[in-house]
Structures are given as C-alpha cells and as structure tokens.
Structure 1
Amino acid sequence: MSMHLSRRKLLGGVAATVAAAGTGLTLASPRAIGAQQQAAGSLPLSIVNKTGKFGNSSIWVYIVGNQGDRQVHVTPDGKIAPVQLSDNGADGYTDYAIPLSGSGDTKLTLPQMSGRIYVALGDKLKLKVVTDGAGKAALQYPAGWVSGDPNYKVLHDCAEFTFTADGMFCNTTMVDMFSVPLAIHLTGAKDQTTGTLKDGARAKIFSDLAGVEAFAPLIVDRDLRVIAPGHGLDSGLFAKDYFAPYIDEVWNAYGSKDLKVTTDAGTFTGRVSGGQFAFNGPASVSFAKPSTRDVLFCDGALAAPNDGRTGPVAAVLGAGFNRTTLHDTPAQPTTDPAAFYRARTTNHYAKAMHEATTDGHAYGFAFDDVAGFASYIQDTAPTAVTLTLTAF
C-alpha cells in the first residue's frame, strides 16, 4: 500500500467548513513531472448528463475549494474567484451555480486548485459564506447527512480533485453519503475511468440497504440519498455499538497470536497486550481498542497521521475492520475482494457501494484506498477530465 495524504490535508479548509463532516477520504500523493506539464495552468472539463431523468436546464454545477490558503469558487468562464461575504445575496446564500449548456455536453475550464465538483439536480444548492475562526471568509458546504442543513432536500452529490502542476488526482466519493451516480474519465498519459455504476445499481443500493435492519434508517426519503453509517451514528440513526462484537473478536484473537501488517515502510508485527494493539518493526506503534465510531470514520483510535509509521498501520487496520477481514487473516492488508464483507456484522454500506460499480472500486469509507479499491484515479500529464452524471 502506498503512503497517502488525507483528504483534509489536500482540501485544506474545505472539510473544516462542512457542517458535521467528521471524516475524510484519502487521495494518493502527487508525483513530480516534467517542465511541460508544470507550465499548464488549466484543464478542459466536460460535464455530461446521462441521467435519463433530468434535463440540462435542471442541473447545476459548483466548483469550489482551495487555492493556496484561500477558499475559492470557479466562475462559468473558468476563472478563480475568492469567496466573499458580499457574495451572499438577499436570501443569505451565494449563487456560485454554473448552468449546463442548453443541450449536449457542457465544456468548462478547471484551474489549478483542490476542491469538489458538486452537482445539484432539480434545485440549486444553498451555499453560504461565513467567517471562520481565523477571521477569513469561508464557504459552508452542503451536509446532506444533517437534517437541518438547507440542502437536505436537494438532490446533490460531488466528486473530489486536486489539480496542481504535479498532475490531476481525483475520485468519486461515498464516504459521507451516496445520492447521484457519477463517473470520472481522465485522459493524459493513460486513459482511465472510475465510479461507473452497473445498470440499475442505484436502485439496488437503496433496496439492499433497506433490507439490512441496522442500515435501513440511513436511507432518506426512500431514494433521495443514503447517509454513511458514521454520520448516521452521530445523528442517532445507527447503533453506537454496532461493530463492538467484531472488535472484541479481533482484540481477543490477537491476544494470543501475531498480526502482520505490510506497508511501504516495511512489515509491522503486532499483538494485543495490556489493552493496546502494539506493533514492532520499522517503528513501534500502538493502538487503543477502537469504538464503532472510530472504525466507521477511521479516526480516533484509528487516526492515521501522515508520519510513515502510525498512519500506514492505522489505515490497514481501519480497512480490515470495515471489510471484516482482520479476525480471520493474520497477514494484512487482505487483497482478495472475495474475502471482504463476509461477516454478518460488517460495513454493509461500503459493501453495497462496491457491488454497485463496474470496476468494483468505491470510496465507501476513509481508508478504502488500502490495497487499491477506492474509486480514485490520477495522471501526472492530464489533458482532459470528464464528469458524467450516469443513468438513474
């Protein structure tokens, strides 16, 4: 498994201003490239509407994020503009919406920045500029998992990206919620696509989760969206002790045998002793017994600092807990997807997301990139990117 930067680090203040966001997914670290690509300052971006349900006139795009230490949005002509309190209109919200073309594909220009491409269907998003703790203008992002959010009833979703002189690094995401099926096509040194759902998969996600008692309350308005279980836990919709039996099984199992975790930094060997899962190898790292929330958010006892030691081991443990491969496989990470989500107590939300995609890749939880199963692609010499709203 390669070393990764957290979404918080890549997107900077973006995640901090999402109401009750709580967790982030991961993107691979950019690699250095030649002078020709370093000189490129923008990338052609196409938005393609294949929903079969919404016309172009009922869909809006928002490109928001960070450029350096300032929060910005992209205008319809591809220019970067800082977010400002004065952008809030009479209704208290900004209008950063970019309408789709009257027909056909919408051609835009993506400047170098890190952020999100939101799509809103049927109604515009209500985004508000506020003042953050440092006194700077900051944008409040949609939080579709919070019932009091002004965008709770709006059908919307997003893809994430970091576009710099080092290349384009992008992914679809279900880490917080799933609502709109999206696919990313990236051209450059290679030709890559990820995020595409199988025919009928959106409806199957809702029906599959409706059939799992613990996960059914995460569905909003039958098929508007499904909330990730971590956010559901924080909202009282998901059991705080859901993973407790499995966590206990893992803790008990490795009290009497070793767990080997292989990372780019080397192989760590761990055993539970004195309540701590202690590992030796390239470095000595240890972890307290995680809670269900820690597992779902890959945080708390499973937090992964970008230190090359604790971080890589935490990521593998987090993936093993969510995929429920830890108890039966003493050499991690497990790389055979046929072994994932086999336990009765497992992350059925992430399972449904992976079963829905044509390539089996999805970002169902924050460390889904472990062993390369995230809906993430990158190119160090990108020439164009396309975001497609696929069939409902």
Structure 2
Amino acid sequence: MSIQVNITNNSGTSSSDVYWICFGLDSDPATSSPNWSYVDVDSNGNASLQKFTKGQDCSKLFKTVDELSAFNNLPPMWSGQFLFSFNQLPNVFNIVSGGQNGLGVQTPPFTPGTADADTLFVVVEFTNIGTELYADCTIVDYFSAPVSIEVIGKTDSKTNGIMKSTSSRDAIFDGITALGSPWSNLIMKDGSGNNIRVLGPQHAVQTTNPNLLSSTIYDAYVDACWKNFKSNTLTINCPTFGTYTGTVNSSDELVFSQTDQPDVTIQKPGPGKAYDIFGCVGTLAAPNNTPLGEIAAILGAALNRTILSSNGNDTQPNCTTSDFYTVQNGVTNEYANIVHQNYKSGIYAFPFDDVCSKDSPLIDITNPTNFNITLSDWS
C-alpha cells in the first residue's frame, strides 16, 4: 500500500537549516537477513530503498526540508528512523563494520563530551510492514525539541507527541531548570549557552567528570519500600498472567507467588542502582511474554512514579495519575514528571511508561495512507 510522507517545519528554524535522513532495515530481521538502507526519492517524488555501503559519505544523503518535504511510497522498513538535525549536519552518521550483514549505522551520540553533544537533533521511530505502520516519538533518552506525528489509515488515524497548547520547548527546559541541582544538571547547552537537550536520567547517572546525577539517588526510597514489604504484602495484577503477591525475604529479594505457578524473584535495585530504575534494566529487566516481564514493568513504573508504598500493603499498578511523581524520600523521576506536565498524552519518558497508559505512545495503524511529521513550534 502506498504511504505518502509529509514533513512540516513549524520549529522556527529555517527549512534550509533543517537536515533529515530516513533509514532502516529493508526486511524483517525475525525472518530474514536484512540490510541497513536509506530512502532515496526520485524526481517524481517516489521513494525507494538503497543499501548503505561501508565508508559511504552519508553527508550527501541528507536532505533539507526546503529541498524535500514530501514523497510517495514509503517502502517497507523495520527499525526505521527519521533523523532531523537543526542548523547543521550531525558530526557522526557513519556506516561501520558489524551489525546486519556486516554493516551497522553509527548514529549521532548525545551525551556530554561526545562529538554531537552540541548538535540539536530529534528522531521519529517507525516500522512499516506495508499493511501496517507502527510509529512513535520517543523521548526516553533525551528531550531536545518537540516533534509530533499523525498516521492516517483508510478507516482511522492517530497522533503522537502533541504538546499542550500552553506548553512549549522552553517550558520543559524552564521546568527542569526550576528544580535546581541535581536535576538542572541534566540540561545540556552549547558553547554559546543555547539549550540543546535535557538528558534522560538513566544517562545522567552514568556520566563522569562530572557526574550529573548520583547513582544512589533512589537508595533511600528503595530501602523504605523493601523494608515495608518485609512485613507487608505487595500485590501485582499482571495484564496477562493474573495476580501475584510478593514479600521481601531474608536475602532482600522481592519474591512473588501464585498458586500452582513458579515463584518470580526480583533482586533489590540498590544500593547505587538508579540506572536500573530509570532505564528499566538490570534488576528490573523485563523479558517479553513472561510473568517476570510483566511484574518488572509494573514495579519499574511504580518506582519511577514513586507510587510504590513504603508504609503498609500495596496493590500495583496504581493508575491514579494524580498520585504520580510525588517526591518520596527525596526522589521521583522529575524528568518524566516535567515531560508529562507539558504533553497531552502518548509519549514515553521512561521504558515502562506505557504501564496504565490509556493512550499508548506507539501508534499502530492498519492500511496506512499518510504519515505526517511536524517539527513543532518551539515558542
């Protein structure tokens, strides 16, 4: 099915200074051996996929929005991305050895001290299988500028990444700044003092020289919750695998049980394991389609939102949004808090942010006809 792509630049940056490239895998990696490829558009506005080659000068593959803002026939692509870079090309976008069929795509780095620390760019993720299009505007790793998407199908349409009418790019930077240290440390500026991005806290706890956010920031809260569940019960209502009840054992493991099912054990995310909580990895890794995965996701969301009880029995998930992000024992995920204060819905601020979500950050449209991307107004 033919999908038309339209790119609208309302950012305030001249369209001649907004560079973009669309790339991804040319077939399903679950059933084939795909190649990393980029979208090439002919003089008639029709798109096709071209395989990357090792050592290719990728700077020549970027277009500006004033040069090309619409095309037809978005090809089937897996792990696809639209990468938009403002005011300059990324310093890093290379085809390197490794990955699929011996080649991989090295995308711009975004953490302090890296080659593109001062480059402002945004990403839209998608997979187009032809009869179905999946897309999202993730800001799990960082927030740099607002971008929204709309996917239209033959019978329905969905949007993602829409900011509130009273919100703006500046409002997110101002909100993080107002928190003071250590959260204001997440703001990355260029040499002229311009705001470039707010770094996701899972990356901030891993930075060194300086360390932007302490890896122990969650320790007191985790200690209080684990102490609580040594004598009280945590009930988890899994969407697929039913209800599990858990308590903390003498080894500081949170052990969940269900009649006639194997126990599920979660190791304590601490001390010094804020990365596990913010990134939903390590002790909170969530394997797909398992009780462990669903329990870890719900527990990870509760810790990020600081709604896990440190006093008495508790049942999760707690989906009362007014309870989210209240500071407990000196912490909550303030990055997620500020992001959600400024977006209507449908946005990921941490990997398990879809727990309780009525509006999934992932758009899924069958029989898609249009994929509209808007680089939203910054002011």
Q: Give me the TM-score of the superposition, normalised by structure 1.
A: 0.83
1:138-217 → structure 2 map (5 Å cutoff): 138-149=104-115, 151-165=116-130, 167-188=132-153, 189-198=155-164, 199-212=166-179, 213-217=181-185
CA contact (8 A) 2:162 2:344 kept: yes
SS of corresponding position for 2:294: helix
- The one-letter code matched in structure 1 to 2:62 is A
Q: Are 1:330 and 2:302 an aligned pair?
A: no
Match of 1:239, as an amino acid? Answer: S
Q: Look at both structures and tell me which one has the larger radius of gyration over its CA atoms.
A: 2
**Is the Cα–Cα contact under 8 Å of residues 47 and 107 in structure 1 kept in the other structure?**
no
Q: Cα deviation per residue 1:52-72 (whole Å; 9 max; x = unaligned)?
A: x21211112211222333222
Native 8 Å contact 1:218 1:237 kept in 2: yes
Correspondence for 1:31? none
User: Alpha-carbon deviation of 1:166?
Assistant: 5.2
Q: Which amino acid aligns with 1:333?
A: P
Please tell me whether residue 122 in structure 1 is matched to residue 87 in structure 2.
yes
After TM superposition, the structure 1 stretch with the greater mean CA deviation from structure 2, 71-80 or 53-62, is: 71-80
Shift of 1:374: 4.9
Which of 51, 62, 72 is the equivalent residue of 2:21? Answer: 62
Hey, what's the Cα distance between the residues in 2 that align with 1:184 and 1:391? 14
Partners of 2:237 and 2:316 within 8 A in 1: yes
| Secondary structure, aligned partner of 1:65 | strand
1:318 maps to which residue? 300
**Deviation (angstroms), 1:106:** 3.0
Go from structure 1 to structure 2 and tell me whether the alpha carbon gap of 1:186 and 1:134 turns closer, same or farther (over 3 Å shift): closer
In the alignment, what sits opposite 1:272? 248
Distance 1:95 1:152 in 2: 22
- Matching residue of 1:377: 363
Q: Deviations over 1:35-65 (max 9, x none)?
A: xxxxx3x4211111111x2121111221122
Q: CA deviation at 1:339?
A: 1.1
Q: Deviations over 1:167-221 (max 9, x none)?
A: 1111111111111201111111322112111344211111111122111111011
Q: How many residues align?
A: 344
SS at match of 1:234: coil
Q: Which residue of 1 aligns with 2:376?
A: 390
Residue of structure 1 equivalent to 2:231: 256
Other-structure match for 1:223: 195
**Structure 1, unpaired ranges of 5+:** 1-39
Which amino acid counterpart does residue 218 of structure 1 have in structure 2? L
The structure-2 alpha-carbon separation of the partners of 1:389 and 1:134, relative to structure 1 and needing over 3 Å to count, comes to: closer
The residue aligned with 1:46 is: 6
The SS at the match of 1:284 is strand
For the structure 1 residues 110 and 283, does the alpha-carbon distance in structure 2 shift closer, same or farther, using more than 3 Å as the test? farther
Question: 1:374 and 1:73 mapped to 2: Cα distance?
Answer: 28
Determine the structure 2 residue equivalent to 1:368. 353
Which residue in 1 is equivalent to 2:212? Answer: 237
Partners of 1:73 and 1:124 in 2: how far apart?
A: 16
- Report the Cα offset of residue 365 of structure 1: 0.6
Query: Matches of 1:333 and 1:268 in 2, distance apart?
Result: 12
Distance in 1 (CA, whole Å) between partners of 2:263 and 2:134 is 32
Corresponding residue number in structure 2 for 1:27: none
Kept in 2, the 8 Å contact 1:168–1:382? The answer is yes
Identify unmatched segments of 5+ residues in structure 2. Answer: 28-33
**Whole-Å Cα distance in 1 between the matches of residues 275 and 214 of structure 2?**
9
The sequence identity of aligned pairs, in percent, is 27
Deviates more, 1:334-343 or 1:72-81: 72-81
The Cα RMSD (Å) is: 2.0
Shift of 1:241: 0.5
- For the 8 Å contact 1:287–1:301, the answer to whether it is kept is yes
Instruction: Give the letter for the 1:181 counterpart.
Output: P
Query: Is the 8 Å Cα contact of residues 35 and 100 (structure 2) preserved in structure 1?
Result: no
Is 1:95 aligned to residue 55 of structure 2? no
* 1:47 alignment partner AA: I
Quote the Cα distance in structure 2 between the aligned partners of 1:76 and 1:248.
56
d(CA) in 1 for partners of 2:72, 2:335: 33
Q: Could you tell me which residue of structure 1 aligns to residue 31 of structure 2?
A: none
More off after superposition, 306-315 vs 278-287? 278-287
* SS across alignment from 1:352: helix
User: What's the CA shift string for 1:268-319, capped at 9, x where partnerless?
Assistant: 2111112111111254211110121100110000001113221111111111
Cα distance change of structure 1 residues 283 and 183 upon mapping to structure 2, 3 Å threshold = farther
Where 1:270 maps in the other structure, the secondary structure is strand
TM-score (norm 2): 0.85
Q: CA deviation at 1:251?
A: 0.8
User: 1-side partners of 2:176 and 2:6: how far apart?
Assistant: 32
The runs of 4+ residues in structure 1 deviating greater than 6 Å are: none
